[in-house]
């Protein structure tokens, strides 16, 4: 089904200046988004269900000079292929799973969060990740793990369950940060990719995945300390400058723990296997979240 689209993305990459030789390499085909490497460029077909107006505004924000040392800069205007937006980017090397650059990650997020309110004109939309946990939990089947996850989800504030409008944003945030969102284009330092959820929001959400995995006992404490320490040392605004970081991280970390647990259950179901030790650790974290709110 993707062969036609793949050919169109390759043609767009070549028209944008990618070297004419060399086979295109599929980099990602996940949840309706398709990314292909064509020579030294990466071409992305964004998800068809993304609001084109909002996505266009996020892509325009990514091209803003104020973000040049934070984000990979898109090449030219997005194209339209079969009703989907297609964007072209310089290709960058990915983070090695053996050696995540946690300090760089902390510093680059601190730089993004430091942008003043009027840095981007027009301002980008509200960040796009607000409903993600609710949507993922909503796809869960029955079963004991899913029940634990749903109970924890029920303890989250109403705005995360779609029952109230979200609080106003205080910074420009990436909106879906994880280690796969860092790349290093030739001759540059680390940069962020994937602006599909970029927008106004609470910067604590960009630390939420790492915070959740640390809290679940999956991300080792020294790696979490490197990430958070570098973020704080760079003046990152998501947490208080000193003292307890969980005053601001708590709700985003709970939400991501629940979301990752739900994603894990869905993956395991899809692959017809039981949860492994780490996925079980996330479901156990959901049980502790529930107990911390409603008691045993």
Partner 1 sequence: MQCPKCRGTMRTYDRNGVHIEQCEMCRGIFLDYGELEALTRMQNQYMQPPPAAPAAPAAPAPGWGAQQQHHHHYGHHRQKSVFHMLFST
Task: Return residues touching partner 1 (CB under 8 A).
Answer: 25, 30-31, 91-100, 176, 178-180, 183-184, 209-210, 213-222, 224-226, 228-229, 244-246, 249-250, 253-254, 260, 263-264, 267, 276-279, 281-282, 284-285, 288-289, 291-292
**Any residues with CB less than 8 A from the CB of 195 and at least 6 apart, and which?**
58, 59, 61, 62, 71, 174
Nearer to partner 1 among residue 32 and residue 76 (C-beta): 32
Tokens of 293: 């709110």
Nearer to partner 1 among residue 88 and residue 249 (C-beta): 249
Nearer to partner 1 among residue 99 and residue 121 (C-beta): 99
Q: Which of 117, 25, 126, 103 is nearest to 66 (CA)?
A: 117
The minimum distance between CB 116 and partner 1, in angstroms, equals: 28
The minimum distance between CB 238 and partner 1, in angstroms, equals: 15
At 118 the three-state DSSP class reads coil
Q: How do 25-30 and 33-38 pair as beta strands?
A: antiparallel
The minimum distance between CB 284 and partner 1, in angstroms, equals: 7
DSSP state of 274: -
Nearer to partner 1 among residue 121 and residue 222 (C-beta): 222
The minimum distance between CB 295 and partner 1, in angstroms, equals: 13
Longest dimension (CA), the chain: 63
Q: Which of 175, 173, 153 is nearest to 163 (CA)?
A: 153
The minimum distance between CB 6 and partner 1, in angstroms, equals: 15
Cα separation, 74 vs 65, whole angstroms: 11
Nearer to partner 1 among residue 7 and residue 26 (C-beta): 26
- Kind plus residue range of the DSSP H or E element containing 85: strand 84-90
Nearer to partner 1 among residue 87 and residue 290 (C-beta): 290
C-beta separation of 83 from 206 below 8 A: no
C-beta separation of 239 from 207 below 8 A: yes
| Buried-state track 211-236, b at ≥16 Cβ within 10 A, e below 16 | bbbbbbebbeeeebebbbebbbebeb
Tokens of 120: 């981007």
The minimum distance between CB 84 and partner 1, in angstroms, equals: 18
Nearer to partner 1 among residue 54 and residue 223 (C-beta): 223
The minimum distance between CB 280 and partner 1, in angstroms, equals: 9
């Amino acid at each position: 089904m993707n062969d036609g689209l793949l050919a169109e993305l390759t043609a767009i990459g070549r028209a944008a200046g990618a070297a004419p030789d060399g086979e295109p390499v599929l980099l990602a085909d996940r949840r309706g988004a398709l990314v292909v490497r064509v020579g030294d460029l990466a071409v992305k077909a964004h998800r068809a269900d993304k609001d084109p107006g909002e996505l266009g505004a996020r892509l325009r924000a990514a091209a803003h000079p104020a973000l040049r040392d934070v984000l990979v800069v898109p090449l030219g205007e997005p194209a339209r292929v079969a009703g989907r937006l297609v964007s072209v980017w310089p290709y960058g090397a990915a983070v090695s799973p053996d050696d995540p650059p946690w300090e760089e990650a902390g510093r680059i997020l601190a730089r993004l969060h430091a942008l003043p309110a009027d840095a981007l004109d027009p301002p980008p939309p509200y960040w796009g990740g607000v409903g993600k946990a609710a949507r993922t939990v909503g796809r869960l089947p029955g079963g004991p793990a899913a029940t634990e996850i749903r109970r924890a989800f029920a303890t989250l504030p109403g705005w995360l369950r779609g029952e109230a409008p979200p609080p106003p944003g205080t910074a420009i945030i990436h909106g879906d940060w994880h280690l796969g969102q860092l790349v290093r284009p030739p001759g540059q330092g680390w940069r962020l990719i994937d602006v599909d959820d970029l927008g106004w929001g609470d910067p604590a959400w960009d630390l939420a995945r790492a915070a959740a995995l640390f809290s679940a006992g999956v991300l080792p404490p020294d790696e979490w300390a490197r990430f958070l320490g570098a973020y704080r040392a760079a003046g990152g605004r998501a947490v208080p400058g000193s003292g307890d970081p969980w005053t601001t991280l708590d709700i985003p970390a709970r939400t991501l723990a629940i979301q990752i647990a739900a994603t894990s259950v869905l993956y395991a179901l899809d692959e017809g296997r039981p949860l492994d030790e780490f996925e079980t650790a996330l479901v156990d974290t959901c049980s502790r979240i529930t107990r911390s709110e409603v008691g045993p």
